[in-house]
Amino acid sequence: MKNISFKPLKDIKRATLLVLFLVTLASCSDDKPKTKNAKDMLITGQITADLTAPPKVPVPIGDRKAKKLIVNMEILEQEGTMTDGVKYIYWTFGGSVPGSFIRTRVGDEVEFTLSNHPDNKLPHNIDLHAVTGPGGGAESSFVAPGHEKTFSFKTLNPGLYVYHCATAPVGMHIANGMYGLILVEPEGGLPPVDKEYYVMQGDFYTKGANGERGLQAFDMQKAVNEDADYVVFNGKVNGLTGDNALTANVGETVRIFMGNGGPNLVSSFHVIGEIFDRVFVEGGTMVNKNVQTTLIPAGGAAMVEFQVDVPGTLVLVDHSIFRAFNKGALGMLKVSGEEDEKVYSGTQMEGIYLPEGSGIQTMPSTATAKEEAPQELSLAERLNLGKSVYQQTCFACHQPEGQGIPTIFPPLAKADYLNADVNRAIDVVLHGKSGEITVNGTKYNSVMTKQTLTDTEIASVLTYVYNNWGNSKKEVTSAMVKSRRNAK
């Protein structure tokens, strides 16, 4: 036993560690040339960047060579609409929220000029997450109103990156809309798709509560508490609905450059009615496939790609779902084309499910709205408030243009049931409705719970509905609603 030596075992351990070290070194050295190659890429010519406002993006880079790319961006502080009746002073890059989309490729030499409009009140700067350098460019771009700063950087790493203002207090500048996306395409470009769109989520904090009318100021304490009044896509409630909805045709591939400016909340991005075929996780080069919902951190991004197979309206949401239906993080992608029943058949059978037997079932009840003295608004004020209430309360079931959902929720557009009896319409909103009704010759059998709305809100939303989509132009007042409330 004395002659047994453990030296060979020690040598094996040393050899193993040496191999592991060499493998690690080799893997690190594999990464380094990519950065070095990008840094040393030959610049051939000069072009001015085409900057676009959301949801548009510039044309793909394709296989163009690395160039000197001139980027000219102007900061504008300007009043805009958060939602109907609610105004806000946005601080913007390029006059939009999110700011202008910047499209580059690996190896570009970017000459960036940031101008601060002389009518602005505050100094600003820009921190681009695609920049390798102090503050992402923030240290070189601090600029007072009426001045401009120029700095340059090399795009070393492909990916989709956020940019934002980094002037103190940083959170306040971001919360007022100072964020956007810069795309650095790989050499040879991204794979082609049929449609590309630019969408970015942000959370906003106002002195008034959600929906409170007038010009709203930023609320620092709410921002510190992360208590957002609005969570929106592209800077406003319903910024991607109606005439602003995204569009595609059946069979097309869609790529969404999806960012999250924050400043606080993480986005759970989901498209109702689709599955992401490919997700470039956190905007980088790692690809995940067949994804339902992708997490996008504040100050982060993702590229999602999918093919649309059937027509209809796909709904973009933050799947922290009250943000979508109550705070504004909701958009639409309208798909046109022929049906494909192999993919989706629609309703094939409809019946009544009575788990309680054949006896009368009670309708779910919600809390009653707070009592109020009748508050008579002008017709214009009722229409504005009514649209806001509709978008927050009725939108999901009855759809953005009152078309309803076939066989499930009746239409409000050109609705004979609605137009025939205004008092009945008020009662339905006040007290709910269950059982079979016939609207425009079609039978519906579903449940609408009573709504926790004030008399003024009910009068406004009904006035809005009656004055849109081919309805009778009736006006409903708070006094009419109060009379019906007291009659029960």
Binding residues for Cu cation: 124, 129, 164-165, 173, 178, 319
Place of tokens 């160039």: 67
Structure token pair of residue 223: 């921002």
Residues 389, 452: contact at Cβ < 8 Å? no
Please state whether the peptide bond connecting residue 263 to the residue before it is cis, i.e. omega within 30 degrees of 0.
yes
Q: How far apart are CA 209 and CA 219, in angstroms?
A: 10
Closest residue by Cα to residue 216 from 83, 96, 100, 342: 83
Residues 198, 255: contact at Cβ < 8 Å? no
Torsion of CA 151, 155, 161, 162, to 10 degrees: 0
Residues 148, 120: contact at Cβ < 8 Å? no
Contacts 24+ apart (CB under 8 A), 423-428: 423/480, 423/484, 425/462, 425/476, 426/458, 426/462, 426/476, 426/480, 426/481, 426/484, 427/484, 427/488
Q: Which helix (H) or strand (E) holds 368?
A: none
Annotated binding residues:
124, 129, 164-165, 173, 178, 319
C-alpha angle 171-388-382 in degrees, rounded to nearest 5: 130
Structure token pair of residue 435: 């059982």
Q: How far apart are CA 305 and CA 290, in angstroms?
A: 10
Residues 359, 442: contact at Cβ < 8 Å? no
Q: If DSSP codes are grouped into helix, strand and coil, which group holds residue 302? A: strand
Please spell the DSSP secondary structure of 244-298, one letter per residue. G-EEEETT-EEEEEEEEEESSPPEEEEEET--EEEEEGGGSS-EEEEESEEEE-T
Neighbouring residues of 201: CB distance < 8 A, sequence distance ≥ 6: 231, 232, 233, 258, 259, 260, 261, 265, 267, 269, 296, 318, 329
Q: Which amino acid is at 230?
A: Y
Q: How far apart are CA 385 and CA 49, in angstroms?
A: 41
| DSSP assigned state of 65 | P
Q: Which amino acid is at 200?
A: M
Residues 476, 462: contact at Cβ < 8 Å? yes
Please state whether the peptide bond connecting residue 54 to the residue before it is cis, i.e. omega within 30 degrees of 0.
no
Neighbouring residues of 323: CB distance < 8 A, sequence distance ≥ 6: 228, 231, 265, 317, 329
